[in-house]
Chains A and B, each alone.
Chain A
């Protein structure tokens, strides 16, 4: 137990900050995913064939390849791409992109693909009469989206988004391979220096279980709150 104490002798404070890092990466990734989803959901639902193909390509490609591959591609490829862009502007030298940004972006792209599917399903389950009614009332397209479709879409997608959140939270453990110090990486370091992998990976498992458990409780509350009146 003294291995988990706070301060110089234990790993408690390191693991605590690592947990905060995991939460921060997960929330950032989820937010990036929302942005991707809000861009690609209209494309998937669009009647234009080309836009449709773009939207479908995004979700199919991302959901068909391993998460680790996306992370490696961004981590190794991103550095090369950034250096290439910099060399055009006359800057020669090694550029390293922040592990937090690449990690959050990679996980965000993945969670965005799942969120897109969730949003698409939610919009499709909104009654068609509402679209027609707003058209008849002469409501502009973007007002219709922001005031009528979006609020309902969000409410309908809360249960499925909670699944996406769980997937995102667990996927952040993969960022550890790029060196970002989150729960997994910190346990790896601690396990390496104390030669007690069983203990530290068990602690990591418990921390992840705690995070998933707490977020489930929170999301259930949200669900009850927003389904009032239905």
Chain B
């Protein structure tokens, strides 16, 4: 059991890399689409809704396969400079995970934007605060604070989602566990050890979010 630990830990590093980069890009995508969702223009609105509907309504595995196997099928993309990115399973995984978590994040942020009390915005308007400043200084901070608990859940869901990277040949924690299983024929040791490491990461994320909630949480 001890002998398999180093290889699993090296996998855990890849898992964390995947998680951090996809959460980073996902947050940006989510924020953009949340703003598009609360836009009053029906076309922009529908587009953002369609995006989140597609990525929340299909399994992550389908999205991953579509990007990893599917995009390589398009001649035009293969000849463009995008090929440098989409030929690498690592980047495909990050793209798929970012788009997926972006859809969920946009829903979380949208509901946070919509539950902001109208009074705050009206108060800002009556004080003559411009729309831009109202958004950046009032709406955005409140929305981020309000969505902290749901976002914490999303991070944990994404951590579990990164395990799918192993099916497109990335040696993340799950991939390493599979390798150990194949090499040693000891499925229980391999997968239970990997499970413990996953639980440990989940535990840490959970506590960080709890701390942030306590510190910055929104009290009404």
Interface of A (DSSP majority class):
helix
Whether A171 contacts B191 by the Cβ 8 Å rule is no
Identify B187's interface contact among A76, A166, A170, A201, CB under 8 A: A76
- A166 CA to B188 CA in the complex, in Å? 29
- A191 CA to B194 CA in the complex, in Å? 31
Instruction: Scan residues 47-75 of chain B and give those whose CB is less than 8 A from a CB of chain A.
Output: 53-54, 57-63, 65-66, 69-74
Q: Which residues from chain A sit less than 8 Å from chain B, CB to CB? A: 61, 63-69, 72-73, 76-77, 80, 166, 170-171, 173-174, 176-177, 184, 187-188, 191, 196-198, 201-202, 204-205, 208-209, 212-213
Across the interface, which residues of A come within 8 angstroms of B63, CB to CB? 205
Q: Is B167 interfacial (CB-CB < 8 Å)?
A: yes
Q: Is B160 interfacial (CB-CB < 8 Å)?
A: yes
How many A-B contacts if CB must be within 8 Å?
A: 115
- CB of B142, distance to nearest CB on chain A (Å): 25
Query: How many chain B residues touch the partner (CB < 8 A)?
Result: 41
| Contact sample, A vs B, 19 pairs, CB 8 Å cutoff | A65-B202, A68-B174, A69-B163, A72-B177, A73-B187, A170-B59, A173-B59, A174-B164, A187-B65, A188-B65, A196-B73, A197-B66, A197-B73, A201-B66, A201-B70, A205-B58, A205-B62, A208-B58, A209-B53
Identify B174's interface contact among A69, A77, A204, A213, CB under 8 A: A69
- A196 CA to B181 CA in the complex, in Å? 32
Whether B66 contacts A205 by the Cβ 8 Å rule is yes
Identify B191's interface contact among A63, A69, A174, A187, CB under 8 A: A69
Identify B66's interface contact among A170, A196, A198, CB under 8 A: A198
